[in-house]
Amino acid sequence: MEDREGLNPPPQAALALAEAAAIGFTLSCDDQTGSLLRTLAASKPGGHFLELGTGVGYSTSWLLAGMDPASRLVTVEKNLSHNRIAIKHLGHDPRVSFVTGDAAKFIAELLSPEENMAGKLDFIFADTAPGKLTLLEEVLSLVKPGGLFLVDDMLPKAEFNFMPDPRYIELTNRLENHPDFFITKLNWASGLIIATRKV
């Protein structure tokens, strides 16, 4: 089995990637991760999804491809030019809301008494520093029992001579030892951890 073939990316994914290349943006997830996002998204019909770090919408397009018509996704990105590309290709989809702003601020809003979203989200893809390297506990508190939390880019990178990053080691330790989640670590693609809140 060749796990990088036959993944059938959604058409919007290629459009977003082409524009990402034009602006020199290289941080979109890989196709394997996209395919996993799509597969897991399809397991949450009617789900409430959150993506932290839209980028140009590459991972967003995979999530939307897996979501059913009743599911809803909010995706947060602070860089306006990244966001413009994502909105250009995916903004027609009524299931997704784009937030242009700081993910840390948005997380605080979700946990405010007015929004009161703790324990209400089915799926979080945390792909920027807030919610992954900072505010981890806050973001995990948003996940409902049986809900999923996913991070990628957990493996040491070639551009840093494969030196382990202490921030990612700490994140791994915290998830490994979290009393409220089961986790699976995948030494695959960029390195993934999938966590599910225990029921």
Ligand X SMILES: C[S@@+](CC[C@H](N)C(=O)[O-])C[C@H]1O[C@@H](n2cnc3c(N)ncnc32)[C@H](O)[C@@H]1O
Residues of this chain that interact with ligand X (CB under 6 A) are 27-29, 53, 55, 58-59, 76-79, 82, 102-104, 127-130
Neighbours of 111 (CB within 10 A): 17
Shortest reach from residue 68's CB to ligand X, in Å: 21
Residue number of the CB atom closest to ligand X: 55
Residue whose CB is less far from ligand X, 115 or 180? 115
Residue ranges of E strands in 58-175 = 72-77, 96-100, 121-126, 143-151
Residue whose CB is less far from ligand X, 105 or 174? 105
Nearest CA among 41, 31, 35 for reference residue 123: 41
Shortest reach from residue 29's CB to ligand X, in Å: 3
Residue whose CB is less far from ligand X, 67 or 103? 103
Characterise 170 by phi-psi region: left (phi > 0), alpha (psi -120 to 50), beta (else). alpha
The tokens describing 160, both together, are 């840093």
Residue whose CB is less far from ligand X, 24 or 179? 24
Rg (CA), the chain: 16
Shortest reach from residue 146's CB to ligand X, in Å: 23
Shortest reach from residue 6's CB to ligand X, in Å: 20
